[in-house]
Amino acid sequence: MTDERASEATGGESQRPEDPAADGDSDPTGDEQDDEQFTLADFHDASQEAGRPVLTAAALSRALDITQERARKELEFLADREAVQRLAVETDPVVWYPSELEDLTDRERVVVFPKRREIIVDRPDQFTRAQLAQFAHLADGNSEQGYRYVVRPEDIWQAPHDSWEALARTMRQALGQRSEGLEEWVRSQWDRAHQFRLTTHEEGYTVLEAKSPEIMGNVARQKLDEEHVHAPISDTEDWVREGSEAAIKRILYEAGYPVQDHRELESGEELPVDLEVRLRDYQRTWVDRFAEAGEGVFVGPPGSGKTVAAMGAMAHVDGETLILVPSRDLARQWADTILEYTSLEPEQIGQYHGGRKEVRPVTIATYQIAGMDRHRSLFDDREWGLVIFDECQHVPSDVYRRSTHLQSKHRLGLSASPIREDDRQQEIFTLVGPPIGTDWEALFEAGFVAEPELEIRYVPWGDDEQGNAYASADGQEKYRIAAKNRGKVDEVRYLLSAHPDSKALVFVDYLEQGKDLSAALDVPFLSGETPHHERRRLLDEFRRNERDLLIVSRVGDEGIDLPTADLAIVASGLGGSRRQGTQRAGRTMRPAGGALVYVLATRGTREEDFARKQLQHLGRKGMTIREQNVERDEGSEADDADETDEKDGNGTSDGDDEIDGSVGDE
């Protein structure tokens, strides 16, 4: 095998066996061979390609494009050195597997694939995961092959290190070895991330600087035009048009060159803020990383306390703050939470939306209002020390994007799920700042956030009429009919009766379905049609345990701050987006344990595939997902064969619950 192949899985130089057969004087297989001896690393390459940890000689020959006889002899060669084991089975004469598999159950193992920029880790400890999170993306945390990390360009561009040497040290600590191939690529990405920066000229205007005349001429001046810059100042400097900074950062980011923002922005009037709650260790780490970068996006599951961490950022900045939220309900909730957890007084906090028009040292405004020309000048005229973008996954949309033109010394985004179905999530980080977060599974393991039990339940049709309508429908109409399956009414009723002591939220995507469930269960239906004062009354009653059940439309996904529940039933809606699945499952993800999430999908329809697909990313974040076929006789309330046991949960929080919000009713 070649040096390149042998070093691929080990991340370093190829490991030649200490054997006379390896010195080129003899040929252990009897066939013509490459200069380099077959190694265990080659076996790992082939097993990765085959997608299983054991191989037959035939599978190895296909993976490495060698004869089967050659493959058999290579395997025997490794077996003689106890690197692999052989096992006879009925379907194949012999299968082979690495000897080290026998003790993988009690030790951490890291395998690096430099060409694919992937890292597979079996049983990683907390230190390894923390180090990996600084330069790699957890692509799959629920795989049979272990934790799968991918090193992407943006992970290197946003790595929290001041120098290449510090980043290289973190990599070597995480991998337990030096991977020259991976390090070479990472170094190239580190260099790309330091080619451009925005600075403030002594006369007050903004300058785009390049590290060399070549990079300025071949990249920036090819991508930017008079809409973005006035004129060159030198071979490596351009005079930037006021207000085009965000566009320049986005364009160069998309070209593969993130821009370092070193502008001397005004921080506005000082505003001392004391945080009156103790931050958890990981929240303190978030705030410290934000303080180093001056910008960022706090990414973590619902219940991880992103809002309280944002108040920690406010306390660090000690400057006037503008908070942008999707709805007026969230503006009110933010105001209440700031009063509860900080030293600020009511007269220092203002709300600016359809119901109130107050601009104060801390102002909470809706994205829609902040983007309107007739209101925007009020925010432009004030020098903000910090702008916070709540539910910032919406920032790339045309409606919200205008709010990112507001300039401030510091920018902070919050999101449980920075996922967009239009694949524009990269724009979130160019418009607001780099992601700062903690791996979900680490929070589950540490007990800061309780992992809900999530089960997809496949429900039969409630009547033949809807089943026949589905069979004759096309396109999106098929999904709509399946989502509104009347059989789900009986299933919701059944699940509520199976958990009589739970505080429950039932989610629907369609007003008609919500109204039908409301009538069938004699329970209020909270939707976009519900007046604001009525919403507030119903939600407050739920929080005070005066109600134990609400039916909620899509407005509850992000547009309002829903109280914590210990039972969530998603009757329809997971066909919309992965973010929607995260938000709905997240309504039970709080420090109190025992939470259950049931997702209902009509059996044998496209809704089955939608439900599996939209929940896959939750599985990759460490959540356990089960599947269950619903089988009951018509009109019967008998248990399923494998019905889930009832769980207890008090639905309470520890005082720093997440404020979740997105597109609301303005």
Task: Answer whether residue 117 is part of any domain.
Answer: no
592 in the same domain as 578? yes
| Residue-level pLDDT at 551 | 92
578 in the same domain as 455? yes
Is 517 within 8 Å of 571 (Cβ atoms)?
Answer: yes
- Residue-wise pLDDT tens digits, 369-414: 876 766 766 777 777 889 999 888 777 665 566 666 666 778 899 8
482 in the same domain as 422? no
452 in the same domain as 592? yes
Q: Which helix (H) or strand (E) holds 469?
A: helix 464-472
* Cα Rg of the chain (Å, integer): 28
621 in the same domain as 568? yes
Task: Answer whether residue 271 is part of any domain.
Answer: no
Give yes or no for residue 52 having a pLDDT over 70.
no
Task: Answer whether residue 247 is part of any domain.
Answer: yes
| Residue-level pLDDT at 620 | 58
CA distance 432 to 271: 22
412 in the same domain as 473? no
Question: Which range among 59-73, 311-325, 504-518 shows the weakest confidence by mean pLDDT?
Answer: 59-73
Query: In the predicted model, what is the mean pLDDT of the chain?
Result: 76
Tell me which residue range forms the domain holding 386. 281-438
Chain centre to alpha carbon of residue 532: 31
When divided into structural domains, the chain yields a total of 5
Task: Answer whether residue 137 is part of any domain.
Answer: yes
Give yes or no for residue 308 having a pLDDT over 70.
yes
182 in the same domain as 74? no
226 in the same domain as 166? no
Q: Nearest-5° angle of CA 89, CA 92, CA 94? A: 70
Give yes or no for residue 218 having a pLDDT over 80.
yes
Is 225 within 8 Å of 202 (Cβ atoms)?
Answer: no
651: left (phi over 0), alpha (psi -120 to 50) or beta: left
183 in the same domain as 217? no
Give yes or no for residue 276 having a pLDDT over 80.
yes
288 in the same domain as 143? no
Split at pLDDT 50, 70, 90, the class of 101 is low
Give yes or no for residue 158 having a pLDDT over 60.
yes
450 in the same domain as 434? no
3-state secondary structure at position 384: strand
Residues 6+ apart with CB under 8 A from 202: none
Side-chain half-sphere exposure of 530, counting CA atoms within 13 A: 26
Give yes or no for residue 90 having a pLDDT over 70.
no
Is 367 within 8 Å of 400 (Cβ atoms)?
Answer: yes
Residues 6+ apart with CB under 8 A from 665: 327, 528, 532, 555, 559
Chain centre to alpha carbon of residue 229: 35
Q: What's the residue count for the chain?
A: 666
- Residue-wise pLDDT tens digits, 630-661: 875 544 443 443 433 333 333 333 333 333 33
568 in the same domain as 530? yes
Highest-confidence range of 75-84, 406-415, 502-511, by mean pLDDT? 502-511
| Residue-level pLDDT at 594 | 55
